[in-house]
Every structure is written in C-alpha cells, then in structure tokens.
Amino acid sequence: MGYEPQADFGTPAVTAQTRVSLLIDGRAISVPTGTTVMRAAALAGGSIPKLCATDTLKQFGSCRLCLVEIDGMRGTPASCTTLASEGMVVHTQTSRLEKLRRGVMELYISDHPLDCLTCSANNDCELQDTAAQVGLRDVRYGYQGDNHLGAAPDQSNPYFDFDPSKCIVCSRCVRACDEVQGTFALTIAGRGFESKVSAGVASDDFFSSECVSCGACVAACPTATLNEKAVTAIGKPERAVITTCAYCGVGCTFRAEMRGEQVVRMVPWKDGKANRGHSCVKGRFAWGYARHQDRITTPMIRNAITEPWREVSWDEAISFAASEFKRIAAQHGNNALGGIVSSRCTNEEGFLVQKLVRAGFGTNNVDTCARVCHSPTGYGLKNTFGTSAGTQDFDSVEACDVMLVIGANPTDGHPVFASRMKRRLRQGAKLIVIDPRRTDIVRSPHIEADYHLALRPGTNVAVLTALAHVIVTEGLVDEAFVRDRCDQDEFRDWAEFVADARHSPEFLAPVIGVAAQDLRGAARLFATGGNGAIYYGLGVTEHSQGSSTVMAIANLAMATGNIGRRGVGVNPLRGQNNVQGACDMGSFPHELSGYRHVSDPAARALFEAEWGVPIDPEPGLRIPNMLDAATDGLFKGIYIQGEDILQSDPDTRHVAAGLAAMECVIVQDLFLNETANYAHVFLPGSTFLEKSGTFTNAERRIQMVRKVMEPLNGFEDWQVTQALARAMGLDWNYTHAREIMDEIARLTPTFAGVSFARLDAEGSLQWPVNAAFPDGAPIMHVDGFVRGKGKFVVTDYVPTDERTGPRYPLLLTTGRILSQYNVGAQTRRTENARWHLEDVLEIHPSDAENRGLRDGDWVRLASRAGETTLRAQITDRVAPGVVYTTFHHPTTQANVVTTDNSDWATNCPEYKVTAVQVTPSNGPSQWQLDYDAQSDAARRITATAAE
Amino acid sequence: MTRTVRISNDALALACGADHVAAAFAAAGCVVERVSSWGMHWLEPLAEIAGEGFGPLTADDVAAVLAGTSALGIGAIAAHPFIARQQRFTFARAGQTRPLSLDDYAAHGGWAGLDAARRIGPDGVIGEVTRSGLRGRGGAGFPAGIKWTTVAKAPAARKYVVCNADEGDSATFADRMVMEGDPFGLIEGMAIAAHAVGAQMGYIYVRSEYPHAIATLRGALDLAAPIIAPFRIEVRVGAGSYVCGEETALLNSLEGRRGEVRAKPPLPAIEGLFGQPTVVNNVLTLAAVPWIMAHGSAAYAAVGYGRSRGTMPIQLAGNVRYGGLFEAGFGMTLGELVMEIGGGTASGRPVHAVQVGGPLGAYHTPADFHLPFDYESFAAADGLIGHAGITVFDDSADMSAQARFAMQFCAVESCGKCTPCRIGSTRGVEVIDRIRARSGRGADPVESLPQMHNARKGGRSLAEDITLLEDLCETMKFGSLCALGGFTPYPVLSALRNFPQDFGLPAAAAAE
Amino acid sequence: MKMAPDSDIDDILTEHAGREGALLPILHDIQARFGHVGEAVIPTIAQALNISRAEVHGVISFYHDFHTTPPRLPVIKLCRAESCQARGVEALAAAFADETRVSIEPVYCLGLCSVGPNAWVGDQLYARLTPERLAALVEQVA
Amino acid sequence: MSGVDTTAKLVRMINQIVRNLLHDKDPVGAVAGHVHAFWSPRMVQQLRAHGSDGLDPVAIAALERLGQDHGHAAG
C-alpha cells in the first residue's frame, strides 16, 4: 500500500431520512438533507479549497477559502457552513472566487515562514497544497509586515512539537481537543492578529497543561505547527498499512505510516469503526518499545534459574523446551504441564497455544490472562443472556440517554471510547458512576455525573441489589420486556428477593457507605431516563463476587428493558486488546473455542476429528490452581506466551513460589519480564507490528492486525508456537495466520463466516458471523436472548473475607492510569513514562493526617499477603478509609500486597479489595531489596553472543 | 415659593456637570428632580423650570436663572424646533420622567403595550409586530416579526430573549439613552417579546463602558420584576469587545466564552443562547415594541419611507453644532439632518465628510446629502445607516487618517476567527501607512534574496499599493465572517474614493 | 503567588454558583475586587465552573477589560473613536503623549459622541475636554 | 516455602461457592454442577482426600452428589 492521505470531505457525514439534489459546477448530486455544500461538492468529486474544515470536526467557517457562489444567494457564502438544499445551483470555480481565495491565501502567506523545503510537513501540508490550488504567485504585501515568525516553539511534549510561527489559527487543534477528545486543554488566547493557540494558561506549555497527548490536535493540524517529533527526525512516511492497536480493548484502527522498516507515526484511521478516527497517548505514540534496546531477539535457555541465561539458536531452544516438556510428561503425567494464552496476542496465536496444550501436551491445563480480568464477564453473561460477551457496539453510545458506569475508569483505561462517552454526555445524556474513587468521568470539564455512588470497595452487589430494590418496589420494572423476553419464574424469585426490606437502600446504606436517597435517585434515573446503558470494567469483575456483580448488572438491564437495541445494553470494557478474542478462542481450561464446554461430546468430536487426537472431557487447571499444584509438586512445566504473571497476578510471593517450584518454565515475550526471572527457556516474541492476525475488541469486533515490519526475532509468535508443537511431535504446517483463522472458522460456529479475505474487504466483523448473522451482529439479543429466555439470577450480597481491622484498617483498591498500560512492559519503555514515573499511593487527607503523612512521603503499604513501599499522594479523589495505587512498575509491585482472595465462580483475583495499613517509611521494603537482587541475578546473560 | 427644577441624570448630562448644577439649585432651595434627557446635548446640562429650558448651565449660572436674568433660556422646551420637528415614539417620554419611577412610567403610558400584548396573546403580538414593519434597529434591518415567528415555532423547552445593548458604534447613544432614561420601556418590550415567543428568561447584554446604564437597568429590573413575572431578565456586562455587538459573538460572550463570531447557520432563532431558540434584538427594536402594541401596528407603519417603516432615533454627533438625539420617521435626507437639524459643524468650518453608521459606515461627502435616510437608499450608495449614528467632520479632517483608523479599529477589535479580518486588518493598516507616506513599497528583503527566483523583485508603486488596498477590501468585504471585517472596507474605500486628495491622489482617481 | 485569599475568591464563586454562563460575571467581580485577574486564580475558577483552565485563560485574554496584572499607574480612559476624533481628540492625546504619572489609555466610545472629547476615570465621566481640563484631570488623578 | 496450604484453599473455595449459590432452588445440585464444570478432577480428588473437615454441609453433599452424577470419584 502506498502513502496517500485519507480523503477529507471537509465536514462530517450526516444521516437523514431525506435527501436533496443540487447542481454543483454542472454536476448533479444527491446528498442527505443537512449535508453541507462543501461535502456535497467533495462527494461529487470536486475539490473546494479549505483549511479550517475537516470532516472529523464540526464546520467552523473561519478560513474563508471555501467561498462559493450560489444562484439566488447574495455574496459568496462559505460552502462549509451552507447547507445543500433542493435545486440549489452552486458554482465553486469562478474568476471572482479565484480572486477572493487568492486574496485570502496572500494574507496567510504574508505571515508564514517560507521554509517549505526544509519543513517537516513538506509535501504533507494543507497550506502548501492550498496555496498551489488557488494559484498564489505573489504576496504583494511583502514579508516585512507584522508577523509571528519569531514565535518560539514548544517542544515540551515528548511526542510532538508545537511551532506557533507556522500556525494559521484555524482552531482545528482546539476544536479537536474539545469535540473529539473532550479535554478542552487548548484554547485560542488573545484575539485578532494576536490570536494564538495556547495549551492551558499563559505560563503553561503542552506538557504542563491539561493535555492528555491523545494526538487529536496533531492529526487535525493542517500545517507543521503540531507535528510528530518522529516525522521531524525520520522524515515523511513512504507507505502506510492499516492495522489494529495492541493496547486496550477498544481496538482502535491505525494507519501505521512507515519509512522503510521504521514506523514514522501511527495515525488513527477515520474508517476505524471502534475509534472513528480518534486515538490515545498509548496507541498513537507509545510504539517505541518495538525497537527498544531491551527487546530480546535471540532465544535463551538455562538449566536452573540461578544460572545466567545462555543465548542459543532457535533450534536448540525449541528442542530443549520440547525435550524438557516430554520428560516432565513422562515423569509426572500430562497434567503436570500447562500453558497460558496471552490476551495481548492475536486470535490465531491464542488458538494455537490452546491447541498445543490440548493436542500436544494432552491436557486441558490452559488458561488466559482473562482469568485475572474478565473471566466473571464470561461466566455471568453466559448464565444470564447465553453469550459470554458484551451486547452492543461502541456506536450504540450515541443513542444512550443514561449511562451507568460501574467499576470502570474509562478516561484512563479506555480513553478513546471515553471520549465518545463524554461527547454523548455533553449532548445531555445523564450519568451515574459507581466507583469508590472520583475518577475523571465523574467530573471533568463539561461533564458531571448526576450521581456518583462512592461505594465502599467490595459492596458492588449490595449497591446493585439496592438499585434493583428501588426499581422493583417503586414499580419501575419494564414489565412488557420482562414478560416477553425473560423467564417468569426466575424473575419472580429475583423480584421477591430484591424487594425484601433487607435490600432497601435504607437498610444497605451503612454497608455501602452511600446515602440511601442517592441510591434511590440513581435507580429512578436509570429506570426512567430513557435508553440506559451499563458500562463496566475490572472494578466489577476483580472481586470475590465478580461473577455475581456481572449477573446483577444483567438483572438490572433486563428488569429495565435495556437490552436488544441501540443505546442500551451491558457493555464490559475489556482491559487488554484481545481479552474477548482470547476467551473466544478456547483459552479457558473448561471451554473449547466458541464457549463450548469440554464435556460436550459433540464439540469435542469436532476438534478430535480436525486435530486427530482425543480431548480430555474434564476441565483443566486455572492459573491460580496451576500455581497451587506447583507448590504441591504436582505441576512442573508451563508455556507462558506474552503474559507476565509475576507482576500482574495477585499475591506475588505465592506466584513466585509456584514458578520456582516448576522444572521448566517457558516464557515467550518481548522483554525479559519479571516472570522470566523464574524461566528456563526464553523465546523472543514479536510485537503487533511484526505479525499478521486478528484481534477481537470489547464490542466483539474482529479486526485485522497487519504486519508492517519484519519480526526482529525472525518469527511471528504463532510460528514459534508451531515450532514448539512440531518439536513435541505435532504435524502442523500453517504457512500463514489466515490458515489458522480458517481452522477457527471451521471449528467455531460463531466464527463460521470469518476469514482474512472478508476482513480485508469489509474492515471488521462483529461475531457471531454465521448463517444466522451473515454480516455479524453489532447488537445482540435483538429478537430474543441467545439462551432463549433471559435468566434472572438471585445474587445475594456475600461480603468478602477481606475485612479491615485494627492491623489493616484501610482498604486498598488498584487500577491503572492513562499513560501506562498494565504491567508497563511496553509503556515504561516509551516516553509515556514521563507522565507516570512511579506508582504512588493515593490517600485521603484525613487518613494521611492521622498518620502524619505529607504529600510525597515514602510509605509502607502492608497487607496480610505482603508489603511494599511507595510514595503517598494526598487527594480527596479517594474516600477516607480507602487507598489506591496502580501496578505499572515492578519496583513497586503492588501485587505483593494483594491477596489470594478471588471470585467464587471463576477465581478471578480480588485485586480491588485488600485490607492494608499505611505507615511512614524511609525506604524500600526487605522484599523489594531481595527481589531487586534476585531480579538482577536472574537477568544475567552469558556473553556468548554479546552484542 | 419652592420651585421644581428638572435636570437630567443621564451619563452625558453628568459628564457635562449636571450634578454640580443640580446641587446649586438644591442649595438655592429648589426641589430638584432628576429626569431623563431631552436629547439636546449641546444644551446639557439643561434645566427645566415649569416647561422652560435653560442651558447649557454651570453652577455659576444658577443664580441668574432663578433671578430670571439668565441669557441661557431657550423658552418652552417642547416648542424648541429640535424637539418640535421630531416624531417621538420610542423617546416619547424623554426628558419627562424620572427613569426609576414606576409612577412616572405608568403616568406616561407605560405598560399599556404589555397589557395589550397579554390581551391579544402571542400570535396576536407577532402579527402586530409583523404588520408594523418593524425592522431590527441594530444595523442589519431584519424584520423583527419574522425572527420572532421563527423562535415561536422552534420546539424547545427553554427559550431566551436577548437584548443587544452592546452599543459600540461611535456616534451612537440612543440605546444608552433608552437604558438610562426609560429603562422600563426596554423591559416592557422584552416582556412582550418573551410573551410572544414563549421565553422564560431574558438577558440584557450591556457594554461595560456604560456603567450608568447598567446601574439604572438593574434598579429598574428590581422594581419591574413583579410586573413582568414569570419572565425574568438579568443584566450581563460585556468586557470590552466591540465585536460582541455582533449577535453570535454576543451569545458566546453571554455563555461565558470568547466573543468569537459563530458561523450561521444555525441561526440564533433556532440555536441561540445555550443552543436554545433565542430572540436577539437591539435595544431600539425592543423599545419600539410597547408603542406598537399600545398604538397599533397601523399607526407605526403609517410612518416611514419605502420598506423602512416607523421612526428611527437618529444620533447627531461629532463636529456638529446641534448634537443629540433626533427621532423621526425614515426618509429625511442626510442634508436635512446634518445641515438643518444639526446646524452644520460646531467649528463653523465647512462640512468635509459625514460618516453614517459608525466605524463600519461609509464616509460621505456633501454630494450625498440628497440621500433619504433609509436602509435601502444607503445600501445602494455603498453605505449603510447601521444604528443611525451620524458623525460630522469639518475640513480639518484628513480622510486617509480616518481610513487608516477604520483598519486599525478593525485590527484592535477583530475577534480573530476569520482570516480576512484577522490578518487583513493589520495588513490594511500597513498598506494605508505606505499610501499615506506616498512611498509605495521598497524592495522587500525577502523577495530580494537570490533564492527567491519566482518572487517579483523590486518595489511596488503607489498605484500598485492602491490596487492592493482595493483588493484587500474586496477580500475582507466578501470573505469575512461577520460585519466587522465585512464592512470595514466601507469607510476605507469611501474615504479613498470620495477624498482621493487626502491620499495624495488626483481627484480623478476617485472614479474606478 | 496568590493574589488574594482563597476565601474571597470562594465567596465570589459561591455567589455565582448555578448561574448560567457565569464566567464573565465572575471575572468582573474578581477584577473589581482585586484590580486584576491573576493566573493563580484560574484553576479555582475552572474547577468551580467545571471548565478547563485553558478555556478560562482563553476568555480572560480575549476581553480588553480583563488584566492579568494589577495596573501600575492610575488610568484615564480617553475616547479615541470617530466622533471624538472629529472633535479633536487626536491633537489632545498627542499633547499628553509624554504623560508619565498616569496611563492615558484609549477607549472606543463612551456614548457621549456629541460632546467630546470625553474621558472616563473610575465611575466619573468627563465631556468637552480641552487641554486645560484634561491637564486638571491628570493632576486630580495622579 | 510459600506456606500455602492448597487444601485449605480448596476448602475455602468450595465454601465460598456454597455461600454464593445458597439461593438456588437446589443449592447442592448447583454447587455440584459448578464444581463439575470448572474444577479439574484433581482438585475434587484433593478435597475428597481431605475429608469433610471445615466443609460446609452443602459442600459435603455436593461432593457426594458429584460422585454419583458425574463419576468424578472414578476420575
């Protein structure tokens, strides 16, 4: 694919029932009512000069280059702000217009540097193009007039520069920040000739301003005023490949713009159906890890974790790993082996790993990191609706009237979708947030929650039951929906249960820590406010009652009739890029792809026929059970693809003990991660830029990942898995990831119609894609639930075992922040680290005062599981009694503190509730010191093939 | 015997020393009533005693006035030719009521319009306003009835009536005089508009340069609140921005934003203040409404010229002998207004130029004195009546300096949104400076660089700069987003064409 | 540097709480009370109105009335618009161009256009200015 | 070295499942079904080997029913 910028129709597309026909320069065109003359002209194949207009932003009308003449209208109206009407006759190219446009362009260029040839936007600049388009040849004003050529550049942002001398004050950056991102970090300061773009206040620069570095302003800038540093450093891209972001579950489509084998920039793709042309600081800018010096590209092995690593050939590494696994199977049985599928890898890679485990290792001991994030979603939604997935597409938010956000921090975790939520909120949708912490969605410029239920961590089920109580007892149930769509007996049982006085807001308020009238108000708003959509995240699932909470959410949606159409639904916001896909691909120990239980003989038969091996009909071990079994001496070898369980899983010391007890740990990853400290085989991994495959995002959207550069290690991850499989004696001969998808489609009814060819042609597909849904299903359960009747499940509030007491009086809850991603393996190796240099502990001023803490003090954070030290940040974002931290830095290791409590149904860890004590400290804990020493030792590499 | 002396307390009278005069009368044992101004500004401070006028007074003149020996008497005010020749609808109460007296207001016909409006209902009101032919007095002359109809028909739970009281044009003060002298009249007009379109809330956006008007309006709103309820009105104060007199910029400013102009559509009548349907009318438009409602649309429409119906409060200012407010039906000629009513220049020198319509209005020569005062006639003569301010200049004025000022004013007040205004006004000042220096432009150092192969080398002649200025004016006139950039070419080009000698050009250059 | 006790700002913000489009009224009140609107109060205003700091800055910098630093000298605002020009204000202003004890700043129209040149000082207006009267005004203000 | 008593953990796990399924019409069946669907046979065996100490009565009954219905005991 070559490099051509994406077409820009000047103003956004409109949807309308009616159309109007008009004549533009003699060409007839019919457009939806409400379309601008500019867009109509572009659709007709014409090109009206423009600078302030772009089809990602509302029309603005400031540059005055797009003037046209319209029969019967006075003057020269701007085509960007004039709506097409029936029978209109438009002239876009007349000598009068040419003169006016040249007059405007002459003004622009009288205040613009003339350094086009050495400008970073040379040949990629709308001002340059437009000057050529209007035929500017002479600037009669000369160049000695008042100007802005001496304005100093702002290079404070790590990824892009702001050069005001090149600014044409079109406000596209400001409007992008407002309309697209919703941060409002930019403004025009001053007025008239002195108007200039300003980030934040006068003394701010971009870095110190409210800017979240989403890149929307850079994408919107028509000149080199806002330009990526990489473009300045590397040069204009030469080719571009459309691919899918590998960070969060939003699944943004990007144009990877390349120069040779080098990424120059990642530009959000306007046709991306998940992101609609938007991006965040991670996907847009934080791709530098792909070429970071820490990347390991040569396989390594060692006999014991006390030894240094030895670099070896791929053959040696693979045969060593295979022989070890064969030895373990022979000595301890197949069930002593297992594997972990990463939710970061592609569907195809995940599918192959579970296939290797089931068909090659001969066990169902396979699990995925979805275990520790969204396994309760799979369980809960399957039980109630019949499908382990969210019900809506992201576009659905545009029709939502009341958003209920529970246990999700979308502005940090799912920023691109959060921007769409915020846009809808600015349009007037109501918002209820259930979160112990005052996240940015609760209140930030131009949005404010109608209710923020700052519950005590661990009481989600109590809150949802109280809301349900109000809905049932106040007659707010959507009775028609329930009657037509749900099982009646179960509904009655549920209604009776929640209507019990013990579940009233008044009774539960002391447990929840939220005033009863707020619970009642929120319930009434959700039930009566129109289309109600529930968005949730790991603050729902990562609890001892994670699965119950998911079911309680489903109950609430059904009771209020909020399922099966646009604007409503139950929407899990998936943490990682391919959590949905990893689950779909049969990565759980009890399920084959498409959520079919291993005990299902028909499903098993299908796989056995395709793979030619028997499949164990009994569930295998989940990750925590594997680690338990390891400490019991029963589990000896594990193949971990792309997951750093030591840092990401709870109760680090237990994970370490489990890993240390194994005889062969194979880690396949980009970097020597924390888990690799306990590994015997290290197989270099490849980034999403280096391979082909598919990711499935939170809206069940299957999207292509396309190789934009050759793998640094020589192989795509699935090829490494195949090599291991072949060494284990399996006869695999995939030559391209598309063949793996073909196999998935053959074996998985919900994927029956999926193929790379179709994805290439259609951009993306939302499963199920099969005979019943040939084009996929943006919204599920439209005419009925997948399971038949919707199932109400009684969800009794069972308090977690984790209780505060004199020793551990505070509750710790954990989460992530915008600039960092998960364990930080990627983002810490980019400039994103500048926004978050270390994990800090948020603590309420009163709790801080009680402990004599000042902002920035070192504190010791201790639970019954372990302790660590980090700096305190005093803030009223958290309630008294609650502390909060992130888990992005291995030096902090927040998970040393988290416990082995987990969801009753899925064993998803209870990251969100840990009883802790916080005390002043003056340095790292002993565990941190020991860990650092062990970590350094474990990362030694013998200099056999020193670089 | 105590005598009652009436002296205006409007800002102009105060600026001319009315408080000192009032204090002197009070010290002399008189009862002093502070009333609105008659609008005869050359006579301010003007004292009225039993219908007789004395002015302009200083405190030193008081004794003579009371003694009957003053030479400053003008006889019966109402009979003064300046007053007698007027047709006062909007300013019917001028000089005669205490601005914050509800009794005075009611006694002079106040609230009759609102009462009538409430009787005939919203549709009836809109019908009356439409039939009256009332056009927006802010400058654009858009029919008020059509605007109100649009707002009335727009479906919305919230609607607004916004009064544009951002009277920024030099030579205009009629809005100020309404607000300071007859605030209830404006409030009544807004209440009628709100009744007609179904608005709950009104704002009067007053420029910060009018502190007296702001104080008077606030006082009046406190008093009138029960009368106009449930409609509510709040005064909002501008912050030094001429462009906020443009209705969309004004709405942005009211919303607490930068006073940048919005592109239309959407029209404010559909998506106005806070995105809701909004009537935006000038002070004089709204203040004309009570009279129309009280006296009927026919009586109003019976006055006027062509499509300009009713009266226009014309403001005579600058170097004029009899400056002040003169309300009359449309159609008097410019010459009548300047020479007969205004009495020519205050300096006694010949009239050189007359600017009509404020900073965006054209500079006319006495050759245009035949023009009837009406929207269409002035438009046809490449001018505009705007807010009906007339500034008279004598022959000491240098019209090239006035042209420069027009561009400079545009540069100072440009919101900066659209390119022709933002950059063009600054370039305009630069080009006019070169023209005024008769220099042309010397060789530009950048154009002279050896690598600038395609640039035209060498300087540009004066004639080329004149052409450039004309082209710039065309770019601004047809390219600008609002009237500030779009109409600044009027004073510039009219000065250039009508007064070429002031630019060092032969008179023949005037004809293009 | 804080320009004013937080509580004073909070009082103003509280007074305007819940008002539509409250930013300009708030800025006017702050400027009236403290003589200027310093950058230090911007975050507080932004937080109260739930808008961004950038937006507040954009608004303050748009309007001529708002100053981010306290005035150094007493201010006489002298109308420089056309009607006062026609009545000789440019010559008057030129005569006072070197005045250092007060700051003579332009204002464009006070609505007293038939009796110029005019000036505005504090809450007082002055019409029919002559060089002598303006000199007296300068003395009075300085 | 980790000090983890994995059997105690299994006891805790099954008791937790019991507490969350008590409202089912057939709690014993529900617990048995859940364990059957999600636990590997070895975990069930380990718990059986441990005996009934610390187990909720419903859990004990469920383990019993599991043996009958699903043949886990035969494993």
Q: What is the pLDDT of residue A369?
A: 87
User: Do the two chains C and D touch, given a threshold of 8 Å on CB pairs and at least 3 pairs?
Assistant: no
Q: Topology of A328-371+586-751 in CATH? A: Rossmann fold (3.40.50)
Distance from CA of A879 to the nearest CA of D (A): 28
**First CA to last CA across chain C, in angstroms?**
28
Range of the domain at C27: 6-62
- The reply to whether C123 and C82 lie within a common domain is yes
DSSP states along A760-795: HHHSEEES--SSSSTT--SS-SSSSBTTBSB-----
Angle between helices A460-473 and A546-559 (to 10 degrees): 20
Q: What is the pLDDT of residue A947?
A: 39
* Boundary of a domain, candidates C33, C62, C91: C62
Q: Alpha carbon of A902 to those of A629, A782, C60, D46: distances in Å?
A: 17, 33, 53, 19
What type of residue sits at position B375? Answer: Y
What is the count of structural domains for chain C? 2
| Residues counted in chain B | 512
Q: What is the pLDDT of residue C109?
A: 96
Q: Cα–Cα distance between B502 and B25 in angstroms, integer? A: 49
Inter-chain CB proximity D37 and A597 less than 8 Å:
yes
The sign of the CA dihedral A391, A393, A396, A402 is positive
Taking domain A160-291, whether its CATH number is 3.30.70.20 is answered by yes
Q: What is the pLDDT of residue D73?
A: 39
| Residues within 8 A of A (CB atoms), B 259-278 only | 260, 263-265
Q: What is the pLDDT of residue B1?
A: 65
Q: Cα–Cα distance between A259 and A721 in angstroms, integer? A: 30
Chain C residues near residue B346 by CB distance under 8 angstroms = 87
Assigned token pair, B349:
């020198």
Does the pLDDT at position C7 exceed 80? Answer: no
Q: What is the mean pLDDT of residues C109-119?
A: 97
The CATH code of the domain that includes C115 is: 3.40.30.10
Chain B residues near residue A188 by CB distance under 8 angstroms = 258, 260, 416
Q: How many pairs of residues across A and D have Cβ atoms under 8 Å apart?
A: 73
Contacting partners of chain D (3+ CB pairs under 8 A)? A
Residue of B nearest to C46 (CA): B256
A631: nearest CB among D6, D34, D75: D6
Domains of chain D, by residue range, sit at: 6-70
The chain A residues in contact with chain C (CB within 8 A) are 183-191, 198-204, 209-210, 443-448
Q: What is the pLDDT of residues A690-703, one digit of tens each?
A: 999 999 999 999 99
Query: A384 with A792: CB under 8 angstroms?
Result: yes
Residue D37 contacts A, CB cutoff 8 Å? yes
C126: nearest CB among B15, B320, B394: B15
Distance from CA of A794 to the nearest CA of D (A): 7
DSSP states along B67-114: HT--TTEEEEGGGSHHHHT---STTTTTTTS-TT-HHHHHHTTTTHHH
Chain A residues near residue C48 by CB distance under 8 angstroms = none
Inter-chain CB proximity B263 and A61 less than 8 Å:
yes
Q: Is residue C18 part of a domain?
A: yes
Q: What is the mean pLDDT of residues A603-619?
A: 95
| Residues counted in chain D | 75
Each residue's pLDDT, cut to its tens digit, for chain B (512 residues) gives 689 999 999 999 999 999 999 999 999 999 999 999 999 999 999 999 999 999 899 999 999 999 999 999 999 999 999 999 999 999 999 999 999 999 999 999 999 999 999 999 999 999 999 999 999 988 778 999 999 999 999 999 999 999 999 999 999 999 999 999 999 999 999 999 999 999 999 999 999 999 999 999 999 999 999 999 999 999 999 999 999 999 999 999 999 999 999 998 899 999 999 999 999 999 999 999 999 999 999 999 999 988 899 999 999 999 999 999 999 999 999 999 999 999 999 999 999 999 999 999 999 999 999 999 999 999 999 999 999 999 999 999 999 999 999 999 999 999 999 999 999 999 999 999 999 998 878 888 998 988 888 888 888 999 999 999 999 999 999 999 999 999 999 999 999 999 999 998 887 644 44
CATH of A19-134, one of 3.40.50.720, 3.10.20.740, 3.40.640.10, 1.10.275.10: 3.10.20.740
Q: What is the pLDDT of residues A414-447, one digit of tens each?
A: 999 999 999 999 999 999 999 999 999 999 999 9
Residue D64 contacts A, CB cutoff 8 Å? no
Residue B256 contacts A, CB cutoff 8 Å? no
Distance from CA of B236 to the nearest CA of A (A): 21
Distance from CA of A736 to the nearest CA of B (A): 53
Chain B residues near residue C63 by CB distance under 8 angstroms = 238-241, 259
Does the pLDDT at position A1 exceed 60? Answer: no
Does the pLDDT at position A69 exceed 90? Answer: yes
Give span(s): CATH 3.40.50.740, chain A: 328-371+586-751
What type of residue sits at position A426? Answer: R
Assigned token pair, A719:
């090829």
The sign of the CA dihedral A338, A644, D13, A378 is negative
Inter-chain CB proximity B255 and C64 less than 8 Å:
no
Q: What is the pLDDT of residue A715?
A: 96
Inter-chain CB proximity C127 and B16 less than 8 Å:
yes
Q: Cα–Cα distance between B246 and B164 in angstroms, integer? A: 9
| Residues counted in chain A | 947
Give span(s): CATH 3.10.20.740, chain A: 19-134
B446: nearest CB among A75, A114, A146: A114
C113: nearest CB among B173, B241, B259: B173
Distance from CA of C100 to the nearest CA of A (A): 27
Q: What is the pLDDT of residue C5?
A: 57
Chain C residues near residue A422 by CB distance under 8 angstroms = none
Inter-chain CB proximity C54 and A185 less than 8 Å:
yes
Q: Cα–Cα distance between A549 and A90 in angstroms, integer? A: 58
Q: What is the pLDDT of residue C2?
A: 44
Taking domain A810-937, whether its CATH number is 1.20.120.850 is answered by no
Task: Tell me what the pLDDT averaged over chain A comes to.
Answer: 94
Chain A residues near residue B246 by CB distance under 8 angstroms = none
User: Do the two chains B and C touch, given a threshold of 8 Å on CB pairs and at least 3 pairs?
Assistant: yes
Backbone angles phi, psi at A214, to 5 degrees: -75, -20
Residue C56 contacts A, CB cutoff 8 Å? yes
Residue of A nearest to C53 (CA): A200
Distance from CA of C39 to the nearest CA of B (A): 17
Report ipTM for this prediction.
0.95
A446: nearest CB among C39, C51, C58: C51
Distance from CA of A398 to the nearest CA of C (A): 23
Quick one: which of A372, A369, A375 has its CA closest to A350?
Answer: A369
Q: Topology of A375-572 in CATH? A: Dimethylsulfoxide Reductase; domain 2 (3.40.228)
Contacts of A471 (CB under 8 A, 6+ apart): A477, A523, A526, A527, A556, A559, A560
Neighbours of A559 (CB within 10 A): 26
Q: Is residue C135 part of a domain?
A: yes
Q: What is the mean pLDDT of residues A912-941?
A: 88
Q: What is the mean pLDDT of residues D16-33?
A: 94
Contacts of A360 (CB under 8 A, 6+ apart): A724, A725, A728, A729, A730
Query: B93 with B182: CB under 8 angstroms?
Result: yes
Quick one: which of A793, A762, A876, A303 has its CA closest to D22?
Answer: A793
Q: Alpha carbon of D1 to those of A392, A631, A934, B163, D5: distances in Å?
A: 47, 9, 16, 80, 11
Assess whether the previous peptide bond of B45 is cis (omega < 30° from 0): yes
Q: Cα–Cα distance between A350 and A578 in angstroms, integer? A: 9
Inter-chain CB proximity A634 and D2 less than 8 Å:
no
Residue of B nearest to C66 (CA): B239
Q: What is the pLDDT of residue D74?
A: 34
B412: nearest CB among A63, A108, A192: A192
| Residues counted in chain C | 142
Does the pLDDT at position A885 exceed 60? Answer: yes
Q: What is the pLDDT of residue C6?
A: 67
Domains of chain B: 4-84 (3.40.30.10), 102-301 (3.40.50.11540), 304-394 (3.10.20.600), 399-510 (1.20.1440.230)
Q: Cα–Cα distance between A86 and A475 in angstroms, integer? A: 49
C113: nearest CB among B171, B175, B241: B171
> Could you identify the residue written with the tokens 């091996």?
A613
Which residues are registered as beta bridge partners of A814? A885
With H, G, I as helix, E, B as strand and everything else as coil, classify residue D16.
helix
Read off the pLDDT band of D68 (50, 70, 90).
confident
Q: Is residue C126 part of a domain?
A: yes
Chain B residues near residue C65 by CB distance under 8 angstroms = 208, 238-240
- The reply to whether C81 and C24 lie within a common domain is no
Q: How does strand A882-886 pair with strand A914-920?
A: unpaired
**Residue A543 exposed, middle or buried by CB count within 10 Å (0-12, 13-18, 19+):** buried
Buried b (16+ CB within 10 A) or exposed e, A926-935: ebbeebeeeb
Hey, what's the torsion of the CAs at A832, A836, A838, A844, to 10 degrees?
-160
Does the pLDDT at position A946 exceed 50? Answer: no
Residue C70 contacts A, CB cutoff 8 Å? no
Inter-chain CB proximity A110 and B415 less than 8 Å:
no
Q: Is residue C42 part of a domain?
A: yes
Does the pLDDT at position D71 exceed 70? Answer: no
Contacts of C114 (CB under 8 A, 6+ apart): B12, B41, B42, B173, B315, B316, B317, B318, B320, B323, B324, C83
Inter-chain CB proximity C42 and A190 less than 8 Å:
no
Nearest 5 degrees, angle CA A659-CA A661-CA A664?
70
Residue B468 contacts A, CB cutoff 8 Å? yes
Q: Cα–Cα distance between A688 and A709 in angstroms, integer? A: 10
- The reply to whether C85 and C136 lie within a common domain is yes
Q: What is the pLDDT of residues A228-271, one digit of tens each?
A: 999 999 999 999 999 999 999 999 999 999 999 999 999 999 99
